[in-house]
């Protein structure tokens, strides 16, 4: 019973509703805006916004390059290259340890 009264109230609230009609000047305003030349300055960003965006892009790019380079250097070197480095250190520094010149 209570649901029926709510439904009736909802349907009665729609009585008296009319179709929405635009202002008589709406179409004229739209045509006037379409015929007006485009203001280029309105669509170009301010110089500080462009500089800020460029700075952010450069920082992100540098971070990506740094991560890429650091990930590339963490790869283990081939055994042949390690042996060559060890031989070179023995010939140059003389001793069995490659870093003996620090002590």
* pLDDT tens digits along 11-65: 777 777 777 888 889 999 999 988 888 766 666 666 778 888 999 999 999 999 9
Q: Which positions ≥6 away from 100 have C-beta within 8 Å? A: 93, 94
Structure tokens at 103: 């002590």
Q: Does the global pTM surpass 0.85?
A: no
Answer whether residue 80 shows pLDDT above 60: yes
Answer whether residue 103 shows pLDDT above 50: no
CA distance 56 to 52: 6
């Amino acid at each position: 019973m209570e649901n029926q009264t709510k439904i009736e109230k909802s349907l009665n609230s729609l009585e008296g509703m009319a179709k929405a009609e635009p202002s008589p000047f709406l179409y004229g305003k739209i045509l006037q805006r379409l015929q007006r030349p485009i203001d280029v300055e309105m669509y170009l960003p301010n110089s500080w916004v462009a500089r800020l965006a460029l700075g952010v892009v450069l920082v992100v790019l540098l971070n990506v390059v740094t991560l890429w380079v650091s990930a590339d250097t963490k790869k283990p070197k081939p055994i042949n290259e390690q042996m060559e480095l060890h031989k070179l250190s023995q010939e140059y520094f003389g001793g069995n340890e490659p870093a003996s010149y620090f002590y």
